[in-house]
Structure 1
Amino acid sequence: MKRMKTVASAVLMLAAGALAGTAQAELPKSMTWTAYDVGSSGYVEASAMADALMKEESTRVRIMPSGTSIGRLLPLKTGRAAYGWLANEIYFAAEAIHDFAAQEWGPQDLRVMLGRPAGFGLGVAGDAGVKTLADLKGKRIARVQANPSVNIKVEAILAFAGLTWDDVEVVDVPSYGASLRALVEGTADAAGGVPTAATFRELEASPRGIVWPSLPDDDKAGWDRVKKVGSFFAPITETVGAGLSEDNPAQLIGYRYPMIATYADTSADEVYAVTKAIVETYDLYKDVNKIMPRWQAKIAGHPPADAPFHEGAVRYLKEIGVWTAEDEAWNQDRLARMKAVQAAWDAAMDEALEKNLPGKDWEAFWADYRAKNLQ
């Protein structure tokens, strides 16, 4: 009997602690977020949510736009911003690949809070004479400097048609926003992006017009080539965005964007509070554009995503009955993968030091070490 009383008391104490933790989950008085640059869907959606929090919660939110992956993640790494409305740079940073293979980066311990399903395609000017992806050969296609998140998706779309960057005329631009502006200004024929971007709407209304060459989901060979570029891509039929509708859909690359992300060591109570506030102010931003219904927690609160979900977000998603056992299993697998990548990085660094490897050779060394030691 004494043991039963002790166990019961412990259970009550744990329950009280959990309630206290939830009660202490207060929204910060001010926050800084990063997002894609002005004119992008990510910036528009982040701005709408920020406005909702400022109206409903009296929380001040500042958004730092950037057209590059490094520009969006560096403020989070240095503590200048707490949250980012990010894309596949989350995956690249967690895996320490592309720009994040540099020694000053390495695998970043990032977490996702929410992320809506999105379609990504090559928006093509209607006067460029492109009907299928194969027609892109020789066309002017924007490539964004220091933005592997955009460029790898464009590369995957080209691969669907058996093309590479060598088969097109590359137009190098400094940012994602600049890549879309190049279409409107006539200096490019195609640029990769999400169809809801405001600049694509501008292109749609311009004399050039806009088309979205499809990646048919029944083209197995094409999709095999896509997945060799990025295993996390999947077909999606997109009906929302410039030049798209239920009557005029396009089959594009599916992924999550934007994903609201932060570092793993961000307070679980704070992440709980921010996730809760974003979900509970949904009615204030749901009509900003036709894509916003995908931000409902029952849609945006599930994996897969480019990193594990943060424990604070998971706590809230469980509380509202969204998080499932399957979600938890996925999250644990993704956490294990991240630990394996981090351990491999540390081991590779030790080996490089033992060999006195020149810094200029590090990225090639790490790529080879990854291939041999990580599946």
Structure 2
Amino acid sequence: MQIRSLKSMLAASSMAGALAFGAITSAHADEYAMPNLLVIGTPGTSSGSFASTNGWGPTLQKDLGINVRVVPEDSEVQRHRRLTERRDLALSSVSAAELRFQIQGIGHYATMTPVPQRVIWHHNDTPWGFVVSGDSDLHSMDDLKQGGLRVAQGQFSPPMIAAVRDGLPAYLGMTPEEGAANFQFVPASSYVENCRTVVEGRADVAYCATVSSVMAEMEGAPGGIRWLPMDLDNTEAWAGFLEHRPMVVPGTITMGVSSSKGIDGLASNFLYAAPADVDEEFAYRMAKWFHQSFDEYKGSHPLSTRMSMKVFREYLDRSPLPVHAGTVRYLKEINVWTAEDEGWNQEAIKKMDSWMAAREAALAEAQASGIKPDANNDQFMAIVKKHTQGLEGFRTRL
């Protein structure tokens, strides 16, 4: 239960938000200088995340007098490496689902150095669904049970692989093994290629975001596209899907290409995330700017409207992911952070630290044993499982 109502908290935040961006009293704040160049990583150029970040970037550049560079990186693994290892990104626009994979070391992430991360701000809640060509004989999810169908599989994102290889069969009441026997999975090296497969005739169905620019292109192609409704009342089907995609939220699609609106699908929240050791003052100033300048940049892209305090506050009520101390400081300052928030956030930090420690121990044991970290190496993955077994996974707080 929230300590305050959303309405009262947002009213308080609006009053606080009216204050000028400047006056910060701490000694560190007086000494701290924002970076001359702010580099933000996003999914590829056809993604809504890339377009919307480019939308607000110029406003931040004007307000704070710093250069903003938006770097598209379709490979989730490479973007994660640039954020946490190379450190040539200050922020990354990443889905909550991908963050779970990164934290828990799922798939290839198991081989990478574990780095704790924190949420800086909410980016968007992207609607997703299963799309087919407009002239397809497939009209419902049940039609996918006929077998022998080609399903696009984006190789660049472990959560997207999980959605089609595990989540889709589970939604249809199949085991992953039955799914592998019934479907032909068509590999795609990028998000755009993944979606285009259905209009190019290379796949029968693909898992795509309704707001990405490639969908508008596909909708305008001869024959167009259609979306397969994922009935919200089919609790058994959803229970199966959520076993494999525990960070998504079922709902009716209201954003994106016209063919998707009103269709039952799901939302995947994208967040601006950073390593936990990012300077608190940087996170504080970014949070403050995101909130106070919202009216200036909200019209720069449809997804930018999802960066409001109202949407972020609603997301905090179900997020299992820890929020950065700098963002927390700002939210406390404007009376939007509650004692309940503090409680679950501290638990989320402890949970993340537990995963980091377990994965570090697994990598250390593998190195001591001369076993190469490789997601396809059964010996290595057995070590990872030994150290992480019993840890509670991250899951949307419903």
Shorter-chain-normalised TM-score: which range? 0.7 to 0.9
The match for 2:204 is: 189
Which range is displaced more, 85-94 or 176-185?
Answer: 176-185
Seq. identity, %: 26
Matched, 1:135 2:147: no
Shift of 1:240: 1.0
Which range is displaced more, 77-86 or 201-210?
Answer: 201-210
Matched, 1:201 2:210: no
Which range is displaced more, 30-39 or 173-182?
Answer: 173-182
The match for 1:267 is: 279
Is this contact kept in 1: 2:248–2:269, CA < 8 A? no
The match for 1:84 is: 92
The runs of 5 or more residues in structure 1 that have no matched partner are: 1-15
Is this contact kept in 2: 1:184–1:202, CA < 8 A? no
The match for 1:5 is: none
The alignment partner of 2:202 has SS state of coil
Q: For 1:8-87, what aligned pairs fall within 5 Å after superposition?
A: 19-22=26-29, 26-77=33-84, 78-87=86-95
Cα distance in 2 for partners of 1:188, 1:221 equals 27
The match for 1:309 is: 323
Is this contact kept in 2: 1:271–1:313, CA < 8 A? yes
The runs of 5 or more residues in structure 2 that have no matched partner are: 1-22, 394-398
Match of 1:366 among 372, 375, 384: 384
* Deviation sequence 1:182-205 (CA, Å, 0-9, x none): 344343333222211111111112
Cα distance in 1 for partners of 2:35, 2:328 equals 19
Shift of 1:347: 3.7
Is this contact kept in 2: 1:133–1:158, CA < 8 A? no
Cα distance in 1 for partners of 2:295, 2:199 equals 33
Q: For 1:101-120, what aligned pairs fall within 5 Å after superposition?
A: 101-102=110-111, 105-115=112-122, 116-120=124-128
Matched, 1:153 2:167: no
Is this contact kept in 1: 2:149–2:183, CA < 8 A? yes
The match for 1:124 is: 132
Between the two proteins, the alignment pairs up a number of residues equal to 355
Shift of 1:33: 1.0
The alignment partner of 1:131 has SS state of coil
Change (3 A) 1:222 1:84: same
Residue type at the aligned position of 2:66: T
Change (3 A) 1:305 1:107: farther
Is this contact kept in 1: 2:83–2:91, CA < 8 A? yes
Shift of 1:178: 2.0
Match of 2:187 among 172, 190, 214: 172
- Over the aligned positions, Cα root-mean-square deviation in angstroms equals 2.6
Residue type at the aligned position of 1:308: P
Is this contact kept in 2: 1:144–1:150, CA < 8 A? yes
* Deviation sequence 1:96-149 (CA, Å, 0-9, x none): 1111111xx143211111123332212222222221112234333221123113
Is this contact kept in 2: 1:344–1:374, CA < 8 A? no
Matched, 1:98 2:107: yes
The match for 1:296 is: 308
